[in-house]
Every structure is written in C-alpha cells, then in structure tokens.
Amino acid sequence: MTDALVKSALQHWAPRLVAQGVSLTDFEEVTAALGGWNDWCAGWSARGAVHEQLGRDALAHGKTLSAGEHLQRAGVYYHFAKFLFVHDRAQMKAAHMKAVECRRLALPHLTPPGERVAIPFEGKTLYGILRKPPGPARPPVMVMICGLDSCKEEMDAYEVPYLARGIATLVFDGPGQGEGEYDFPIRGNYETAVTAVLDVVAARSDLDAGRIGLWGVSLGGYYAPRAAAFEPRVKACISLSGPYDFSDCWDGLPELTREAFRVRSHAATPAEGKRNAATLSLKGGVAARITCPIFIMTGKLDRVVPFQESERLAREVKGPCELLIVEDGGHVANNRGYRWRLQAADWMAERLGAG
C-alpha cells in the first residue's frame, strides 16, 4: 500500500517537483531511497536540511545572495516533504514550519526581495508574501492563490515571470492552505479570503489597487475564478487546471488527494469530505458572473482534474476568455511549462498595463 502511494505521488507530481525548484539529482536520489510512503516526509526533510545548512553557512559568511537561493530551495524541499503527508500530522507540521522558516529567512536576500504580510481574517490572521519588481513606485499586483497541497513557500518559480514583467506578486495561504490550514477549513466561498487580501492591497501606498490580477493553480484554479465572480476589484484572472465542480472530480482523484482534502476541509470521514467537495462549485450561475478577462489553461492528459472542467468554465464565463489546452500536458501541464508559463505572464502583463 505504501509503495503504491509513493508510485502514485511520482506519477502525478514528479514534473511539478522539478519545475518548482527540486534538483533532478536530488529528486532521483531521494525517491530511490524511499522504502514506502511513511518515509516520504523524513526523506525530503533530510535533503531539505542539506540546503538549509548551505544557506545558513552562506549567511554566516555574509554571502547573502547565495543564502537566499539556498534557503529558498530548502523551503521548497520541506514543503514537498509535507504537501500530502496528512496521515502523520505532527511530522507534517514540523516539516511545514521548517518550510515557512526557510523562506522567511530567504526573503530579504531574494531578487527582488520579499516581505511577510499579515492579513486580518475572521478574527485571526492569514499570511502572505509580497514581492515588488524594481522600478515603478506603485506597480500592479497579482494575487496568487495556491491549491490543495501547495502553499506560498512553493511559489518562487511561479512568481518570477510576473516580477520580470513589472507586476508585484502577493501569494498567500488561504483557508485550508499552508499556515491557514490549521485554523480554517477549506471553503467553497473562497472569495471571502480574497476580499480580505484585496483590502490589504488597497490600504498600501506602494501598490496600485486599481490594477489587480488574480491567479490560481490546481484547486486555486477554482478559487480564483470563484473570487473573480464576486470581487469587482479583480481586473483579470488566470485559472490553471482548476475544477468547475470538485465533487464531479471526486471519484477519479488520487487517494492522496482525497485524503488531503478530507483533512484540510476538517472532515471526520471520507463521506463528509465528499460532501465538503460539493461546496466547491461554479454551478448555479457563478461562472456566468465572471466578466473580467480570463486566461484558462489545462493539460489534456490531466489525471487529477479532467480538462473538460476547464472547457466548461470557458463556455460559461461572460467576459473575454482565452482557453489554452496543452495537448500533451498533465496536471497544470508542469511537464510542458514552456508551453504556457511565459505566455500566461505576457497575457497578464497586457491586461494590467505592466512593463
């Protein structure tokens, strides 16, 4: 069983790990050494510790540029140690806190640097990372929404193309995600969290709150259009391999994904998890409320969220829509990132008047 879970993780997410910053040699060595799924978190944490120590050594010697790169990479490794490891929550959370710590240490030394942002939300706090491109005093900003098993510590590779085009990035952990998963369960009405984030953007003098884009990946590919349907401050939206209705996808999801959703939606049983999945839907006229320009990308070989979910969203939105189906792409087409990552960044830059 555990070997089957490792095999499933590699079949579904191997391209993602490498695309997001894991060294190919590290990927091959760590996964080859795993005895089973129970070893996943410890194996990736141990390799993350190698990169963390390199970063701390660089800091101690004043090599801040190198430190930022090493610590950023360490955060990615610790993130992937925990991303679906929900059956051992103590081990998962320990790896998660190391991911948060490493990226926090890296932020001042990245190019461009980043800052940790607190977002008041329903009496508690969500956290995000803001990075601003060099140059404009008030750049447009793209709010980035993670998925079921991603969080802000993974996002550097996604941020860079937008920063290079003069767009600030604000990635945050919402309900059921990253630092938000402990206090808040996954929710279908994710626009409540996005509204809180946009309020923070509006209160800052160093961002142009009149030019806000929204970006979401995987389950975030549902959250972003959902929020765009209800938030008039969103000027453009990107949806990457998101479900139109998550309950329609439920029975075909990998076991690891269903269990992660159960845990992060704070459901006691698989049946309750499936009922929670039904609350994540763009049915009932929600998709038709989307009038801002939207870029939708999916992989035709996606075995997590079928590409037909993106097609349905594209049919029902009322604003300008560009649908890109990567014929040989898997989930989020991470195996063919060169077919869409830069194209999506160019699309958003045009819509926000960046560059």
Global pTM value? 0.96
Q: What pLDDT score was predicted for residue 22?
A: 97
Per-residue model confidence (pLDDT) at position 3: 86
Mean pLDDT on 57-78: 98
The whole-angstrom distance between residue 165's C-alpha and the CA centroid of its chain comes to 20
- Nearest CA to 102 out of 182, 47, 25, 143 is that of 47
Query: For the segment 121-154, what is each residue's pLDDT rounded down to a tens digit?
Result: 999 999 999 999 999 899 999 999 999 999 999 9
Taking Cα atoms as reference points, which of 169, 179, 234 lies closest to residue 207? 169
Average of per-residue pLDDT values in the chain: 97
What pLDDT, on the 0 to 100 scale, is given for residue 73? 98
Q: Is residue 334 scored above 90 in pLDDT?
A: yes
**What's residue 2's pLDDT?**
53
Tell me what pLDDT residue 301 has. Answer: 97
Q: Is there a contact between 208 and 267 (Cβ–Cβ < 8 Å)?
A: no
Q: Is it true that the peptide bond before 306 is cis, omega within 30 degrees of 0?
A: no
* 225 residue type, one letter: P
Q: What is the pLDDT of residues 222-256, one digit of tens each?
A: 999 999 999 999 999 999 999 999 999 999 999 99
Sheet holding 168-173, edge to edge: 114-121, 124-131, 168-173, 141-145, 212-217, 234-240, 294-299, 321-326
90-104 pLDDT tens trace: 999 999 999 999 999
Contact 237, 213 (CB under 8 A): yes
Q: What pLDDT does 127 receive?
A: 98
Confidence of residue 1 (pLDDT cuts 50, 70, 90): very low
